[in-house]
Structure 1
Amino acid sequence: MKAVIQRVSEASVTVEDKVISKIHQGLLILIGVEDEDSEEDIDWLSGKISRLRIFSDAKGVMNKSLLEIEGDAIVVSQFTLHASTKKGNRPSYIKAAKPDTAIPLYEKFIKQLEFDIQKKVGTGIFGADMKIALVNDGPVTIIIDTKNKK
């Protein structure tokens, strides 16, 4: 699994001119699933994201996690995170899992993150044309790949 995590002061997901998820302080998380991903990847990634110390403490130092600030989260599936641009100018998405594999893992990730942060998580709609709006706070953007846990 690949994740792009953005610390936001606000974010929303709109589908067909309807806002389906909206948060204030927290994280916008874009998730890309590939065929080799497993529940172990879900557990590790969710735990890492929920405990990632990227929010400021009273001294202005990034020392607090999403859990500690009781922040919100939106999770959006994004197969394009697995784009390969090695050959030619048209990206290949061959590594991205097909919906029959990706949807259950995406849904399990959402449930695990809700368990880890002890609150409901906003989402996009898998496969829909979505409009994502955000105010990246910092800016802080972190990329995590469960295949590279170093």
Structure 2
Amino acid sequence: MVIIKATKNSEAGVMPSEELLTAMGKFNEELVAAGVMLAGDGLHPSHKGKRVRFSGGQRTIMDGPFAETKELIAGYWIWQVKSMDEALEWMKRCPDPMPGEESEVELRPLFEMEDFGEELTPELREQEDRLRTELERQQGV
């Protein structure tokens, strides 16, 4: 997963320029053509969001905006690559997602079923397979 960190401008709702949208569109086309991009979207600023905190069986709902912009996410991609090195090679080609501001992008692998070891019982694996199949059906895949 490629996590695009929020900045002051993204949190203020400043929309990307036509130039950036064009550059990102071209980059996304390259990712799709290479079979790398599975999903990706930008997120509205945190003032439009909510957080739910779980503690001792209680749930507390908090309205945005949220402090600590550097900890917020402005967008994401889900990529299917063979290695972190391949993901980094793609990132080197990525347009600056927040031109004019210092910005950061974080790359983190998603868990695969085999990462869960014996705790993922055959029954849980079967349930996961059923859910994935149903999601694909709903999405028309």
TM-score using structure 1 length: 0.26
TM-score using structure 2 length: 0.27
- Whose strand proportion is higher, 1 or 2? 1
Larger radius of gyration: 2
